[in-house]
Amino acid sequence: MNQNRLICLLAFTLALQQACASSELEFPGDDASVTRDANGAADVSVPTDTPTDAITDSASEDPLEVGGTGECVRDQDCQDDQVCDTDTSTCETTTSSSCGDGTCDGAETCSTCLADCGCDPNQSCSAGSCVCDDACTPGQTRCAGPDEQSCSSDSNGCAVLEQPTACDSGTCTDGACCDAACGARECGADSCGGSCGTCSGSCDNGYCSRQLIVNWVRTDCDASCQDAFDPTDPYIQVTVGGQSYDKDKGERDRCDNTLTAQGWTVGGASRTFTYTQLRAVRVEVLDQDRLSNDDTCATWSRVDLTAPGTVEITSSDGLVTVSLTTQI
């Protein structure tokens, strides 16, 4: 019984070997070989020098092209005007559709999206870049009316005008504060491009021409010019700039409370004198004497009548007083 089973088993094994020998089996690689052991079992061997790329996945034969428009894992995998959308792993082109998002990025410039890439104050957009609109030259000054205005640079290096500042004294002239050199001068240039004032008449070395008016003359009858034979007949004589003018000469008996030369404009209503001429005026009150030379009642040789206004001059004995007014 056992012998019959063994014979059956050998017959089955032999039939199986013949069937396998007649089958077309494919093995990876041309150098693969099949061997059988003493019992007929098959052993497949692959040479150790078989290239590993022979068994790689076909998907690895198509790596991601850098700079393409397909899948990506980072921005460098995309073209210059694209970014990688990590949510979808795809390259997306940056377009003006993102303008207005508050961020200046991608291909946006001040020319394509002023809302996101706007220029700072004192700048304007030119060919996609912000450039300075210089309003002045840094370090220089200019006049803003009577005030001075300086030019400086902002944080971007653009030239800007500062707020005008008032001059400590004087006014702004020719781009800078200037102290007017007028002093007591009444007319003429002030050295700052302006004027120290104007005159109704002429201007002489910074001073307006003046009129000289004798308001009145009072002479006491006891003045030293009184003589025994004739009452005092006073008149006034004024010498200005070498020219003499007199008033009330020939009038009789006008002493004590009788005033002479009232409201007299020296030289006439249209006559004026320069500031220099009025610095040394000679004033005399004389008594006309028909029989001899006129007697002197009082004399003031160098009276300064330059200042506008009224003055009174009195003789040393107090017997003669003259009131005079200088007006511009």
**DSSP of 5-24:** HHHHHHHHHHHHHHHHHHS-
Residue 146: predicted pLDDT? 87
How large a percentage of the chain has pLDDT more than 70?
74
How far is residue 264's CA from residue 123's CA, in Å, rounded to a whole number?
73
Residue 173: predicted pLDDT? 83
Answer yes or no: pTM beyond 0.85. no
Residue 62: predicted pLDDT? 43
Hey, what's the torsion of the CAs at 274, 276, 278, 283, to 10 degrees? Answer: -130
Residue 56: predicted pLDDT? 42
What domains are defined for the chain?
69-118 (no CATH), 210-327 (2.60.40.150)
Residue 72: predicted pLDDT? 87
Residue 42: predicted pLDDT? 52
How far is residue 145's CA from residue 27's CA, in Å, rounded to a whole number?
102
Q: Which of 243, 254, 237, 249 is nearest to 322 (CA)?
A: 237
Residue 166: predicted pLDDT? 92
Residue 325: predicted pLDDT? 98
How far is residue 179's CA from residue 170's CA, in Å, rounded to a whole number?
4
For residue 25, list its beta bridge partners: none
Which DSSP string corresponds to 275-291? Answer: TTGGGSEEEEEEE--SS
Burial of 300 per CB tally in 10 Å (0-12, 13-18, 19+): middle
Cβ atoms of 326 and 278 within 8 Å: the answer is yes
For residue 238, list its beta bridge partners: 245, 283
Low-confidence ranges of the chain (pLDDT < 50): 23-30, 32, 34, 44, 46, 50, 52-68, 96
Burial of 132 per CB tally in 10 Å (0-12, 13-18, 19+): middle
Average pLDDT value for the chain:
80
How far is residue 91's CA from residue 156's CA, in Å, rounded to a whole number?
36
Cβ atoms of 301 and 282 within 8 Å: the answer is yes
Write out pLDDT tens, residues 11-50. Answer: 666 666 665 555 444 444 445 454 555 555 555 454 555 4
